[in-house]
Chain A
Amino acid sequence: MLAARQLFCERGERILFENLSFELLEGQVLQVRGSNGSGKTTLLRILCGLNDSYEGEISWYGNSLESQVADFFASLLYIGHRSGVSKVLTPLENLRWSCGLQQAVEDDQLVRALAEVGLRGYEESQCFTLSAGQQQRVAIARLIVNSTRLWVLDEPFTTLDARGVSQLEDLMQAHAASGGSVLVTTHHKLDIAALEVLSLG
């Protein structure tokens, strides 16, 4: 579904990657691996259209990304280092907005998703009262609510506890099984069947 050809990117005179080509298929989980500073986050942001300081081609279902941005964004769910969870809002209010940008959502759907990620009872607490891991779970609840084809997750495991990690792995596995794709960076060893690995640097 998503293919990159001959990607080249440099940051401050240092070449992060060159001649990078890969393809992400439907039903695939692709783990991007590499040492610190090898350009994992940059690659993900390039693929999400957040960063355009690169050379090369990115195509979405065979056509260039630029020609179908709205379509691409409607099928993309990105969780970055900054999780997009506003600290003054409650988890419910956060999801209403962030999920609502992509598709029409009902409140009970959001409450169920929050319960699923272990935030039952926290729906109405402001997010700055939650721990970092719980805030990350709010972001992960979006994966349950929104049904987008492509998940791009940048270090999603960093603040999660062991149960959270295995739950997110299960979510990724189920997503791949239903035909979706996941692009993920992590140093964590993933316990997923259909795992492909892309090594940088």
Chain B
Amino acid sequence: MDKLAAAARTTTASAFRSTLKRDLLIAFKKKNDVVNPFMFFIIVVSLFPIAISPEADRLSEIAAGVIWISVLLASMLSMDNLYRADYEDGSLEQLLMSPHPLYFMVLAKNLSHWLVSGLPVVLVSPLLAYMLSLPEQAYLPLMASLLIGTPILSLLGSIAVALTVGLGSRGLILAVITLPMSVPVLIFGTLSVQAALNNTSALGFLALMLAMLAAALSLAPLASAAALRITID
């Protein structure tokens, strides 16, 4: 029995790190899953000037909305990668049977998902804002709202994916579950940019979004974890 007792259990922190590392590695090896939603985002945004009008005045009015809607749609597209492959190859079962709190394991997966799908969007947003003739004073609020908003989208989407990952054909159900929860993010995201355009402070809206992020960070992984336990049955 000595051999069996001697093994040192890993800490939750190192399990968190190793899960994060594994997911980033998988994302790196399956570049399509990461690049496709990102390209979709760029394409949707860049079609607006062509379809509506290249005039700076009209574009700058809709710029924030266009970028935020595209972010939302692209995040729908990328959500599926979160648990699908793990469900199919059985890794998800192993994750559920780890001796660590599932909350942190789910958080690690969500963080990895945001790093590969949300963060690039935040980084490229000034470029797209320039393309849509957004006035300069709105760049920072736009980036800040995306920086706060995209992790919320990842955390909320994770719940919906966790609920539906066991279903064979999901179709629209993912969007139907996620979109109502994401609308407040969309509203405050665009409002904070609008505030900057009207030369008022965007800080109030950003603070509200931060509060939403705090709530999502503390509650959404719990909901995802519970949903995963129901799905894997």
Question: A103 to B97, Cβ gap below 8 A?
Answer: no
Question: A103 to B25, Cβ gap below 8 A?
Answer: no
Known contacts A50-B97, A88-B26, A88-B30; A104/B8 CB under 8 A:
yes
Known contacts A53-B233, A101-B15; A178/B1 CB under 8 A:
yes
A56 at the interface (CB under 8 A from B): no
Question: B29 to A101, Cβ gap below 8 A?
Answer: no
Question: A49 to B97, Cβ gap below 8 A?
Answer: yes
Known contacts A73-B99, A89-B22; A78/B93 CB under 8 A:
yes
Q: Please, which residues of chain A bring their CB within 8 A of the CB of B15?
A: 100-101
B19 at the interface (CB under 8 A from A): yes
B1-22 interface (Cβ within 8 A of A): 1, 3-4, 6-10, 14-15, 18-19, 21-22
A40 at the interface (CB under 8 A from B): no
Known contacts A97-B18, A100-B15; A86/B3 CB under 8 A:
no
How would you classify the secondary structure of chain B's contact residues: helix, strand, loop or mixed?
helix
Q: List 28 A-B contacts (CB under 8 A).
A: A50-B233, A70-B100, A71-B99, A73-B97, A73-B99, A74-B99, A78-B94, A82-B89, A84-B90, A84-B91, A84-B93, A85-B90, A86-B22, A86-B85, A87-B85, A87-B89, A89-B22, A89-B26, A96-B22, A97-B18, A98-B94, A100-B18, A101-B99, A102-B10, A103-B10, A104-B14, A147-B6, A178-B1
How many chain-A residues does the 8 Å CB contact rule pick out? 41
Question: B10 to A126, Cβ gap below 8 A?
Answer: no
Q: Please, which residues of chain B bring their CB within 8 A of the CB of A48?
A: 97
A81 at the interface (CB under 8 A from B): yes
Shortest distance in angstroms between A34's beta carbon and chain B's nearest beta carbon?
Answer: 20
B36 at the interface (CB under 8 A from A): no
Known contacts A85-B89, A85-B90; A96/B233 CB under 8 A:
no
How would you classify the secondary structure of chain A's contact residues: helix, strand, loop or mixed?
loop
Cross-interface CB contact of B89 among A45, A50, A84, cutoff 8 Å: A84
Q: Please, which residues of chain A bring their CB within 8 A of the CB of B14?
A: 100, 104
Shortest distance in angstroms between A93's beta carbon and chain B's nearest beta carbon?
Answer: 6
Question: A96 to B10, Cβ gap below 8 A?
Answer: no
A83 at the interface (CB under 8 A from B): yes
A179 at the interface (CB under 8 A from B): yes
C-alpha gap A128/B120 in the complex (Å): 29
C-alpha gap A89/B229 in the complex (Å): 25
